[in-house]
């Protein structure tokens, strides 16, 4: 079983940021309103994610670390409309198989918490733990037992950069959740939940930069069950930054060719030379109209009506850039 988990880990867990991704998605699944991520040495030494979500009961702690026990997909219908972000039921066992992991949780309303440790997938005893309501997962010494994998990790700075990028994406996808990020004991980001337009703008500025926000065009357009909101840079926005390109489909970050093409076309059409367009856009549509599980790790999606989506994106952005109604 440990070997199976380690192989699974190879697919899900490439680097520290992959772990942060899985842990934070679990925290979101648990309905958390505040999530705190702490990393040490780029996350290789230690990653700690704590939340104020629903928690895990004493009886289910060990289960959370055993493979395939928790998969939420039980039928084809589930696959069609996966609403929650996690669905494989193997992230925690995979992470535990390549690290030293501590899982502590106190369900909402319970009068105490419990904790459990695992080392290279070997799960220990459940013990009482003093803690507030919510869940804390600590992952230490990533890949300590798989040296070949450890070699692929980059510098601490690069690995932390990946974690920060991930947090930025999450910050935009889930404006309602408070997010804190610390590295080596230093607070790097502390994002309050966006309750209204002002706080939402502040959050976008914190992620995309003040310079972007000052000149950005605000989008809000709906058509044929598609809704596009967000911010795009005016033609001529001087910061040539390829990484200022966020596109979310139903709250999930997407790097999709159809989307990229529509955006690029629109910019190109309005005399936008040489630079990468900058944008933070959110597309919402009926989950039945988009297949998000094409490549869970690759951020690709498949739209049922791709042409309609492409045209809608192109026209909306084009219109906003050129300042004319379509
Ligand atoms: P999945 O998210 O695909 O179900 P995971 O291995 O990521 O599988 O998590 C296993 C299970 O542990 C989850 O289904 C959930 O029940 C529980 N769990 C993990 N993290 C949390 C958390 N932060 N809060 C509450 N429950 C959690
Ligand atoms: Mg999960």
Q: What is the pLDDT along the chain (326 residues), one digit of tens a residue?
A: 566 666 555 566 889 999 999 999 999 999 999 999 999 999 999 999 999 999 999 999 999 998 754 444 454 444 444 434 344 568 899 999 999 999 999 999 999 999 999 998 899 999 999 999 999 999 999 999 998 888 888 999 999 999 999 999 999 999 999 999 999 999 999 999 998 999 999 999 999 999 999 999 999 999 999 999 999 998 778 665 557 899 999 988 898 899 999 998 998 888 655 567 889 999 999 999 999 777 666 678 999 999 999 999 999 999 999 885 54
pTM over the 0.90 mark: no
What DSSP character marks residue 156?
H
Q: Which CATH number applies to 209-322?
A: 3.30.230.10
Instruction: Check residue 296 and give its pLDDT.
Output: 63
Distance between CA atoms of 312 and 308, rounded to whole angstroms? 6
**Are the CB atoms for 138 and 101 separated by under 8 Å?**
yes
Give the Å distance between the CA of 175 and the centre of ligand 2: 20
Instruction: Check residue 270 and give its pLDDT.
Output: 80
Instruction: Check residue 8 and give its pLDDT.
Output: 58
Q: Is 134 in the pocket of ligand 1 (CB under 6 A)?
A: no
Q: Is 107 in the pocket of ligand 1 (CB under 6 A)?
A: no
Residues 6+ apart with CB under 8 A from 224: 308, 312
What DSSP character marks residue 289?
G
Cβ burial of 197 (10 Å; 0-12, 13-18, 19+) is exposed
Residue with tokens 């367009």: 277
With residue 180 as reference, give the H or E element that holds it. strand 178-183
Q: Where, residue-wise, is CATH 3.30.565.10 in the chain?
A: 2-191
Q: Which of 23, 50, 64, 139 should be mutated for ligand 1, with most atoms under 8 A from CB?
A: 64
**Are the CB atoms for 65 and 101 separated by under 8 Å?**
yes
Give the Å distance between the CA of 81 and the centre of ligand 1: 19
Residue 69 CA, closest ligand 1 atom number:
10
| Atom 23 of ligand 1, nearest CA residue | 27
Instruction: Check residue 9 and give its pLDDT.
Output: 58
| Atom 4 of ligand 1, nearest CA residue | 89
Q: Is 167 in the pocket of ligand 1 (CB under 6 A)?
A: no
Tokens found for residue 247: 């596109």
Distance between CA atoms of 260 and 227, rounded to whole angstroms? 17
Q: Is 52 in the pocket of ligand 1 (CB under 6 A)?
A: no
Instruction: Check residue 167 and give its pLDDT.
Output: 96
Total Cβ atoms within 10 A of residue 192: 14
Residues 6+ apart with CB under 8 A from 157: 42
Buried b (16+ CB within 10 A) or exposed e, 17-46: bbbbbbbbbbbbebebebbbbbbbbbbbeb
Q: Is 138 in the pocket of ligand 1 (CB under 6 A)?
A: no
Q: Where, residue-wise, is CATH 3.30.230.10 in the chain?
A: 209-322
Fold for 2-191, please state it.
Answer: Heat Shock Protein 90 (3.30.565)
């Amino acid at each position: 079983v440990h070997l199976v988990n380690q192989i699974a880990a190879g697919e899900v867990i490439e680097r520290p940021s992959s772990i942060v991704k899985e842990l934070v998605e679990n925290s979101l699944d648990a309905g958390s309103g505040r999530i705190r991520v702490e990393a040490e040495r780029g996350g290789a030494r230690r990653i700690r994610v704590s939340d104020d979500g629903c928690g895990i009961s004493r009886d289910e702690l060990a289960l959370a670390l055993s493979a395939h026990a928790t998969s939420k997909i039980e039928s084809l219908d589930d696959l069609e409309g996966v609403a929650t972000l996690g669905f494989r039921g193997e992230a925690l066992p995979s992470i535990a198989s390549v690290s030293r992991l501590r899982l502590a949780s106190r369900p909402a309303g319970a009068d105490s918490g419990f904790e459990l440790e695992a080392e290279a997938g070997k799960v220990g005893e459940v013990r009482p733990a003093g803690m507030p309501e919510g869940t804390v997962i600590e992952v230490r010494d990533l890949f300590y037992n798989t040296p070949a994998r450890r070699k692929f990790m980059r510098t601490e700075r690069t690995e932390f950069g990946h974690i920060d990028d991930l947090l930025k994406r999450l910050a935009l996808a889930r404006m309602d959740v408070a997010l804190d990020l610390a590295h080596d004991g230093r607070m790097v980001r502390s994002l309050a939940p966006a309750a209204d337009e002002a706080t939402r703008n502040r959050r976008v500025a914190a992620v995309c930069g003040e310079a972007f926000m000052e000149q950005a065009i605000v989008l809000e357009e709906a058509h044929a069950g598609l809704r596009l909101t967000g911010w795009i840079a005016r033609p001529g926005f001087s910061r040539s930054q390829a990484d200022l390109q966020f596109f979310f489909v139903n709250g999930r970050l997407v790097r999709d060719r159809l989307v990229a093409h529509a955006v690029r076309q629109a910019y190109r059409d309005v005399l936008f030379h040489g630079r990468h367009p900058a944008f933070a856009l959110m597309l919402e549509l009926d989950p039945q109209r988009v297949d998000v599980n094409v490549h869970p790790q690759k951020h690709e999606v498949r739209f049922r009506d791709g042409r309609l989506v492409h045209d809608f994106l192109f026209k909306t952005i084009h219109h906003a850039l050129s300042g004319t109604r379509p």
